[in-house]
Chain A
Amino acid sequence: MIQTALTLEKMRSDIAAALDIPAAEVPDDAHLGDLGLDSIALMRLLMGWEELQPSLPSGKLYECETLAEFWAAAQAEA
């Protein structure tokens, strides 16, 4: 199934896939760096998400450190 909109769960599952861990192991409030996400991986994620939602404020997203923050930043601009 082709995803057409950016959702919280889409973000979660993308992050989990990038880290090769189950989505359940990506809580809303964990520091994503401490889950193993680095800026290279984040850059790839953001490129995918921007395709789904071109209005994403990528500058702000880089400064987010938890999934909840990502989601909040994405919604603020949606």
Chain B
Amino acid sequence: MELAEWRPLTEAQAGIWYAQARDPQSPVFVTGQALYIDGPLEAAALSRAVARLGGEAESLSLRLRAGPTGPEQRIVPGSAPGLVVRAREGVGLAEVEAEILAEAQRPMDLERGPVAGFTLWRLAPARHILTERIHHIAADGQAMVQVTQRLAALYAAELSGGDAGEGLAHYARALEEEARFGTAAARARQRAFWHARLADLPEVESVSRGRADGDGHWFHRAERPLPGATGQALARLSDRTGLHWTDVLTALAGAYVGRHLPSVASGESRDVVLGIPLQNRMGRTARCVSTQVNVLPLQLRLDEGAPLPDWLQTVGADLAGMRRNARYRGEALQRELGRIGAGRRLWGPLVNILPFEACPEIAGCETRLKILGAGSVDDLTLCFRGDPEAGLLAQVDGNTALYSEAETEAHCARLEAFLTAALLAERLRDVPTLTKAETRAHLETRNATAREVPRTTLTALIEAQMAASPAAPALVFGETCLSYGELDRQSAALARRLAGRGIGPGALVGLALPRSLDLLVALIGTLRAGAAFLPLDPEDGSARRADMIARAAPAVILATPGFACEGAPVLGVLDDGQEAEPSPAGPEDPAYVLFTSGSTGRPKGVVVAHDAIVNRLLWMRETYGFGPGDRILQKTPTSFDVSVWELVLPFLSGATLVVAPPGAQRDPVALAGLVRTQRITAMHFVPSMLELFLDAPASQGLAIARVFASGEALPQRLAERFHRRITGRLFNLYGPTEAAIDVTAQEALAGQGGEAVPIGRPVWNTRTYLLDAALRPVPDGVPGRLYLAGRQLAQGYLGQPELTAERFPPDPFRPGGRIYDTGDLAVSDARGVMTFVGRADQQVKIRGVRVEPAEVERALFGTGMVAQGVVIVEAAPGGARLLAYVVPEPGATAEAIRAALAGQLPVAMLPAQVITLDALPLTPSGKLDRKALPAAEGQGGAGRAPESPTERMLAALYSEILALPQPVDAETDFFLAGGDSLRAVALSLRIEEATGRDPGLGAILESPVLADLARRIERGAGGDDGTGPVLRLSGGEGLPVFAVHPAGGLCWCYRTLAQALPGRPVIGLQSPLLDAGSRAPVSVTEMARRYVGRIEAAQPEGPLTLLGWSLGGIIAHAIAAEAERRGREVARLVLLDAYPSECWRDEPEPDETAALRALLAIAGFDPEAHAGLDSRAAILDFLKAAGHPLGQVPRAVQDGVIRSVQATNALVRGHREPRVRAPLLHVGALRDQAGTNRSAALWQPFAGDVESLPLDCHHPDLIAREIVAAYLPALSDAVEPVLARPEGAA
């Protein structure tokens, strides 16, 4: 076989090639290892051995390229890398190891090569480290072992002059064998086996939640030797089951993975899909340096209750089946089963067992091997090296984009503990998920909330306060104020009258009063009578209230005159009656009963004792420092338990309660007025209402010392808004009515990461447990069902002992205790701070994908087009679907919002409909009223015919490339319809032919649905077509340079500059005017505001560097002003031949022809030199003939450029420059300045310091390569002015 010619890749190679092509800069596919050699090593002999090795292992000389029909390879003889020797005598080991890691993390260029490297690091004459690196496309782990062993043999031969033994097999054999298998009957048999086995493969869940900070180009590694006893137990269990130890280990590692699936709390976690790398080296390829390893999926059906040996047998049988069909490629299955692209994986974590001795012997030396890179860690890899007798090393590798270093370490420790326990267990059910230390931390350390709180009653505490400060103001309602003494007198009188009716401890008193002074007198009077209060909505005349009254059977209802009610006597607060001495309640007596609606069924009356609510209120008083002088707003309806702390906390603190007029809780303006005039120091909001409050201009600039949010998840975004508008602290509280209002708390600070503000940690004398369906604690990062325990638990549900027993089961961790099942899912971080992730009963599967509506909501807000929004799950005939109800930002439409979501979410998570509303309906308590949302229309979307020209073009290409019958509908998924990576490349080439732009393979992989891809192509989501709002022109480590578009709206003109500027990425900001669907800005200032938002997303902190050419300079200046207004430092503002807007004010605005001719300038041609081109067709023909991409872009983009030229010119004419502090560098084009009054000095009034760099060139030259170099130094370092030049021309 002639290997010097280009040949197609093997299937194994193609898989790696496509993965690398998606991210060419990633080094994750480079396999590498370091061999520590202590002893006399002869570098010259080793160098000769490496050279001989290069002759034998031909794959070290591979080169690869994208060929016309797919990727290709060839061998370039003599191009194998030689040994590089690096003298590092006297350098510390840690330093050299850091260098070695950096070497291991260098990406390889498959086209230019080399695909391998050998470096000898000399630390001392007799201490060396040999590093070997080979791209995974040329060798797998097994091949690396062969290369190393062979190198050792060649070295020995070089030293001794003897025979090196049998050499390696020729590379051609890898290709021949693949071809042979391709036509073998076995291939068809194995294919049929896999298709049958995987026909019902479920969705593959990742064990990672969210993203870590890394770029995914590398992995964290944690390793630990398994104890000898664990190895022995493994050997024993293998004997007992008759299975090979590798199979037992694989199965148990799979069970371990199963404990980390997101569904573990719901009990559905039964299917684990592992990837099993099979060496695939039986026969001719055994000694061929090439990539053969074949990852195949292993579906484990967890049966935690089965006897362990029985379950292991079933896994063993599955593994045996897999081994008999191990030659069929996993890559082929991914393609055939449509398991390619976002959210459709064929396997989850890898379990890799490598019993081979990989460390070679070097004559006269001691050797030790360290594996640096295993050639790709997509997610999580659990690797075991060695064997039970010699010892096993457990190694966990976690991709840096998905796992932090600490998470990877935790996995390794947990894996060891899990395996050790499982090997001795009768059933998996008995095996804890966490290590002993983790269990202790989760159950005890994190719940160490014990705190001395007196066993007393609310009544006693309130009475003590009333006695202590009789003259202090207790209550304010409108113009009326009640002192503590007066409150004492009135409430005591009421208590005596209630007692006169025989009411005392254990009795219930209904409170059906609107917010008023009477309400407070009634509440405190009730407590002083020893009874519990039962809030009733005075305006709710429904059957629901009647049902509540019938079930609670209050002894009396305190109400305003005219309150109509059957089933209980009604009394006015001041009504006369017989009096008696009240008998006080005890700590265990009920303080109140609150009916909660619950999602289904009848309302439940929750009975809360004094002891529970006392704990809650004293915690709050101390934690947030309430005392005399505080003014607490009472605005929450009494049917909502938050009202309890509002109503009572003031009287435990000597503070003043300010009672909002009825209805004010729904009126942001009235609330803001109350806060101002009543000098409120604490108040509560449900997040939905807080959003409305912040929307109201009246809330701007308010000072409220403490604001408490609870009742719904608090988005971080809302916390940020709060801190921008209001001076004060914001606290996120969480808890059900069943546990005395709130049980966890967390301050919501600005500038925190994450989508939602955490709910925090437990309050005093309270324990929280995050458990799986078997009531085992879940690991950090895995959602668990939240259970509560401790002093605040309610006594139960009024008159419903069975329901009480069900929802308050015994505490599995504290004999004699009870827990409450919240039905909420939460996830904890490593510090024990919890975040709410959803309701256990609201998780839903759509097209097999587990969907969390809250996650879709976060994406909704991420579009920036939604002021308020909620995503709900609706049961529909074809299965559940998602509906998004939104209040759009001005100018945003349902279509635009859905399109923006499409760029971010997999299809299954995309709402079927986006329904716009003027406002979201809220319940009286301020929560979203789901029942009041309007019904959606029937099934939308599915089966829609392609509409736009891009969709029709794609429909034709899909059907051509996939050989599908026409018509292809807009919802067709490229991969589900039979596409694979190769066809995706073909599609991308055909799209490039049709549109003149390469959409990028990534675009197709990420947006395989036709409509999504069309939108992406049209809008450039991801910047693939170069017309998106943000265009990354170059990469680099430094702070970015933001280049602002000139009149045409595109930043393509800065490509040369970006290429010439080393080290710093150049990010182009492009005009929204390019996109007809996007709202047009009305001023340069508004444009700048939007751009600063993009800038802040790309560079959240640090000094900014801004650059603009031509009219782009004016916009860059406006951006600097807006950035400074937001408190950002602008280190450098570089204007390329730009002049203040006053220079343009009197110039005529360009007409359509002039705008069209601007296309020429944008394409880099001098319009003056082509005066004859005066029609659209002529200009476009010219650009096409010149081969310029602008000539080939879709008409929509050309229209966008023309629109941008005209609109930007108009906006500039209406703009007036503010002054900025930033230093300004003006680069002028002298040849065009001549004869005009334009000069750098015109900027003097508008900038902190103006430097001028006049260059002898024309305006368009400023972005050309030769000229760019002249001002590049000013951008290389933004902080230090580096220009040395004569003073500017003025």
A33 with B286: CB separation less than 8 A: no
Task: Indicate if A4 sits at the interface (CB-CB under 8 A).
Answer: no
B286 with A38: CB separation less than 8 A: no
Please, which residue of chain A has its CB at the minimum distance from the CB of B317?
Answer: A20
Residues of A within 8 A of B142 (CB): 39
Say which residue of B190, B286, B327 sits within 8 Å of A39 (CB atoms).
B286
CB 8 Å contact bits of A64-78 with B (1 = contact, 0 = none):
110000000000000
Please, which residue of chain A has its CB at the minimum distance from the CB of B243?
Answer: A20
Interchain CA distance A33-B278 in the complex, whole Å: 11
Task: Indicate if B281 sits at the interface (CB-CB under 8 A).
Answer: yes
Interchain CA distance A35-B279 in the complex, whole Å: 15
Q: Which of A40-55 contact B (CB under 8 A)?
A: 40-43
Q: Which of A9-57 contact B (CB under 8 A)?
A: 19-20, 31-43
Interchain CA distance A36-B356 in the complex, whole Å: 19
Say which residue of A19, A20, A33 sits within 8 Å of B282 (CB atoms).
A33
Residues of A within 8 A of B246 (CB): 40
Residues of B within 8 A of A64 (CB): 283
Task: Indicate if B186 sits at the interface (CB-CB under 8 A).
Answer: yes
A38 with B283: CB separation less than 8 A: no
Interchain CA distance A32-B278 in the complex, whole Å: 15
Q: Which of B115-162 contact A (CB under 8 A)?
A: 142
B318-326, B394-402, B1221-1229: which one contacts chain A?
A: B318-326
B323 with A63: CB separation less than 8 A: no
Task: Indicate if B355 sits at the interface (CB-CB under 8 A).
Answer: yes
Say which residue of B283, B325, B327, B355 sits within 8 Å of A63 (CB atoms).
B283
Task: Indicate if B169 sits at the interface (CB-CB under 8 A).
Answer: yes
Say which residue of A20, A34, A62 sits within 8 Å of B327 (CB atoms).
A34
B324 with A63: CB separation less than 8 A: no
Interchain CA distance A38-B292 in the complex, whole Å: 13
Q: Which of B240-288 contact A (CB under 8 A)?
A: 242, 244, 246, 278-284, 286-287
A40 with B287: CB separation less than 8 A: no
Q: Which of B840-896 contact A (CB under 8 A)?
A: none
A63 with B284: CB separation less than 8 A: yes
A36 with B287: CB separation less than 8 A: no
Q: Output the least CB separation between A48 and chain B (Å).
A: 15
Please, which residue of chain B has its CB at the minimum distance from the CB of A63?
Answer: B286
Say which residue of A36, A43, A59 sits within 8 Å of B323 (CB atoms).
A36
Task: Indicate if B166 sits at the interface (CB-CB under 8 A).
Answer: yes
Q: Output the least CB separation between A14 and chain B (Å).
A: 15
A36 with B169: CB separation less than 8 A: no
Interchain CA distance A16-B919 in the complex, whole Å: 73
Please, which residue of chain B has its CB at the minimum distance from the CB of A69?
Answer: B283
A33 with B327: CB separation less than 8 A: yes
Please, which residue of chain B has its CB at the minimum distance from the CB of A19?
Answer: B320
A59 with B287: CB separation less than 8 A: yes
Interchain CA distance A41-B281 in the complex, whole Å: 12
Residues of B within 8 A of A20 (CB): 242, 320
Q: Output the least CB separation between B1239 and chain A (Å).
A: 77
B326 with A33: CB separation less than 8 A: yes
Interchain CA distance A64-B279 in the complex, whole Å: 16
CB 8 Å contact bits of B169-199 with A (1 = contact, 0 = none):
1000000000000000010001000000000
Residues of A within 8 A of B323 (CB): 36-38
B186 with A62: CB separation less than 8 A: no
Interchain CA distance A39-B286 in the complex, whole Å: 9
In the complex with contacts A59-B166, A63-B169, A36-B283 CB distance below 8 A:
no
B278 with A38: CB separation less than 8 A: yes
Residues of B within 8 A of A32 (CB): 282-283
Interface size (A, Cβ < 8 Å)? 20
A36 with B320: CB separation less than 8 A: yes
The prevalent SS among residues of A at the interface is helix
Interchain CA distance A65-B169 in the complex, whole Å: 15
Q: Output the least CB separation between A3 and chain B (Å).
A: 22
Interchain CA distance A65-B244 in the complex, whole Å: 22
Residues of B within 8 A of A36 (CB): 320, 323-324
Interface size (B, Cβ < 8 Å)? 26
Residue with the greatest number of chain B CB neighbours at <10 A, chosen from A32, A40, A43: A40
Say which residue of A33, A35, A40, A59 sits within 8 Å of B355 (CB atoms).
A40
Residues of B within 8 A of A63 (CB): 169, 283-284, 286-287
Residues of B within 8 A of A33 (CB): 280, 282-283, 326-327
Q: Output the least CB separation between B244 and chain A (Å).
A: 8
Q: Output the least CB separation between A52 and chain B (Å).
A: 21
Q: Output the least CB separation between B383 and chain A (Å).
A: 15
B287 with A38: CB separation less than 8 A: no
Please, which residue of chain A has its CB at the minimum distance from the CB of B354?
Answer: A40
A62 with B324: CB separation less than 8 A: no
Say which residue of B278, B282, B287, B356 sits within 8 Å of A31 (CB atoms).
B282
A31 with B283: CB separation less than 8 A: yes
Please, which residue of chain A has its CB at the minimum distance from the CB of B173?
Answer: A63
Residue with the greatest number of chain A CB neighbours at <10 A, chosen from B165, B166, B279, B323: B323
Q: Which of B54-110 contact A (CB under 8 A)?
A: none
Interchain CA distance A20-B278 in the complex, whole Å: 19
Residue with the greatest number of chain A CB neighbours at <10 A, chosen from B281, B283, B287, B326: B283
B355 with A62: CB separation less than 8 A: no
Please, which residue of chain A has its CB at the minimum distance from the CB of B181?
Answer: A31
In the complex with contacts A40-B355, A63-B287, A31-B279 CB distance below 8 A:
no
In the complex with contacts A33-B326, A62-B287, A42-B282 CB distance below 8 A:
yes
Residues of B within 8 A of A34 (CB): 186, 190, 324-325, 327
Residues of A within 8 A of B242 (CB): 20
Interchain CA distance A76-B574 in the complex, whole Å: 114
B320 with A31: CB separation less than 8 A: no
A39 with B282: CB separation less than 8 A: yes
In the complex with contacts A34-B327, A38-B278, A39-B279, A65-B284 CB distance below 8 A:
yes
Interchain CA distance A32-B13 in the complex, whole Å: 24
Interchain CA distance A65-B177 in the complex, whole Å: 12
Residues of B within 8 A of A40 (CB): 244, 246, 279, 355
Residues of A within 8 A of B244 (CB): 40-41
Residues of A within 8 A of B165 (CB): 59
Please, which residue of chain A has its CB at the minimum distance from the CB of B284?
Answer: A63
Interchain CA distance A62-B142 in the complex, whole Å: 13
Residues of B within 8 A of A43 (CB): 356
In the complex with contacts A63-B169, A63-B287, A35-B324 CB distance below 8 A:
yes
Residues of B within 8 A of A35 (CB): 324
Residues of B within 8 A of A62 (CB): 286-287
B326 with A38: CB separation less than 8 A: yes
Q: Output the least CB separation between A11 and chain B (Å).
A: 15
Interchain CA distance A64-B280 in the complex, whole Å: 13
Interchain CA distance A43-B142 in the complex, whole Å: 13
Residues of B within 8 A of A65 (CB): 282-284
Residues of A within 8 A of B186 (CB): 31, 34
Residues of A within 8 A of B355 (CB): 40
B166 with A37: CB separation less than 8 A: no
Residues of A within 8 A of B326 (CB): 33, 38
Q: Output the least CB separation between B157 and chain A (Å).
A: 16
Residues of B within 8 A of A38 (CB): 278-279, 282, 323, 326
Please, which residue of chain B has its CB at the minimum distance from the CB of A57?
Answer: B166
Residues of B within 8 A of A41 (CB): 244
Interchain CA distance A64-B165 in the complex, whole Å: 19
Please, which residue of chain B has its CB at the minimum distance from the CB of A21?
Answer: B320
Interchain CA distance A75-B1244 in the complex, whole Å: 95
CB pairs A–B below 8 angstroms (26 shown): A19-B320, A20-B320, A32-B282, A33-B280, A33-B327, A34-B324, A34-B325, A34-B327, A36-B320, A36-B323, A37-B323, A38-B282, A38-B323, A38-B326, A39-B142, A39-B286, A40-B244, A40-B355, A41-B244, A59-B165, A62-B286, A62-B287, A63-B284, A63-B286, A65-B283, A65-B284
Given pairs A36-B323, A38-B326, A39-B142, 13 additional interface contacts (CB within 8 A): A34-B325, A36-B324, A38-B278, A38-B279, A38-B323, A40-B279, A40-B355, A59-B165, A59-B287, A62-B287, A63-B284, A65-B282, A65-B283
- State the 3 A-B residue pairs at the shortest beta-carbon distance, nearest first: A65-B283, A33-B282, A62-B286
Residues of A at the B interface (CB closer than 8 Å) are 19-20, 31-43, 59, 62-65
